[in-house]
Amino acid sequence: MAATHVFGGQLACAEQFVSLLCSSGVTHGLIGPREVPRIWDRHVLNCAVVGSLLPAQGEVIDVGAGAGLPGLALAIARPDCRVHLVEPMLRRTTWLQDAVERLELPNALVHRGRAEELWDALSAPVVTSRAVARLAQLSRWSLPLLRPHGQMLAIKGSSARTELAEDAAELRRLGAVATGVLEVGAPEVDPPTTVVRVRLGDRPAKRVGAKGPAVRRRTSAGTRDGRAKTAPTSVGSASAGSSAAAGSSSESENASRTRRGRSSDRRAPAQGTPRRRRG
């Protein structure tokens, strides 16, 4: 079985991960119900084989961790590596933290925040991602997280070479010194996993203040259920901290609206009241 070859002694943990994806992963909206029958080949193994590209005892930052693909799959397949799961959405980080605890993965750490919010807090020789954004935008977020001579490994689809050719100039501008498209995982996965590799030189990547699109859906608490507005945090205490920060933000916003309203009242005449003409 391909899973046995990829995960080895970690197969039982991988099976438990698949069980979580097919149950709470679906109910939390992280995995579509139609993906359940092909969860092993299309998702878990597709991601886990990228572990062959990681250095021994390495450290990895997974940007846009979502359902833990590839982050959790790599943490299971490569227990010698430390994996940071970066995800801005609260419901996803809550699920990820629960999964880390259930799977008993001491080498996985969940961080809630945008990648660019963590530029000064995290760095690693490898940054991974899967289905997050086009290469140019993904590189703006991810390359500043790399240490000198580090590599970004982006799992892509069949259009990987076309996308790389179209975005090559932007990648060079950001500091990339080498790029390429790899196919890994054969014969365990068919078709093999396509990975775009972007390498940095001896200088840090150029930082561009790019932010992802805001998500308009709101939680019952009134905070945006999208990219975190608060300072990035590890999820061990994220629930209480995020709630407090959200409450503070809401109070500040309400106070700001009140001040703007009062200012408007002073400037605008009452409705139906004619303006005084200067004599």
Which is it for the CA torsion 150, 110, 167, 161, positive or negative?
positive
Q: What is the pTM for the complete model shown? A: 0.77
- Domain of residue 84: give its range: 2-200
Residue 232: band (very low, low, confident or very high) from pLDDT cuts 50, 70, 90? low
Residue 145 and residue 123 in contact, taking contact as beta carbons nearer than 8 Å: yes
Is residue 223 in a domain? no
Residue 91 and residue 114 in contact, taking contact as beta carbons nearer than 8 Å: no
Is residue 82 in a domain? yes
The number of folded domains in the chain is 1
Mean pLDDT of 110-129: 97
d(C-alpha 162, C-alpha 132), whole Å: 17
Is residue 222 in a domain? no
Is residue 233 in a domain? no
Is residue 69 in a domain? yes
Summarised one tens digit per residue, pLDDT across range 188-197 is 999 999 999 9
Give the orientation angle of helix 11-22 with respect to helix 90-103, to 10 degrees: 150
d(C-alpha 201, C-alpha 122), whole Å: 18
- CATH classification at residue 120: 3.40.50.150
Pairing of β 146-156 and β 124-130? parallel
Is residue 245 in a domain? no
Mean pLDDT of 227-256: 44
d(C-alpha 191, C-alpha 159), whole Å: 14
Is residue 152 in a domain? yes
Is residue 258 in a domain? no
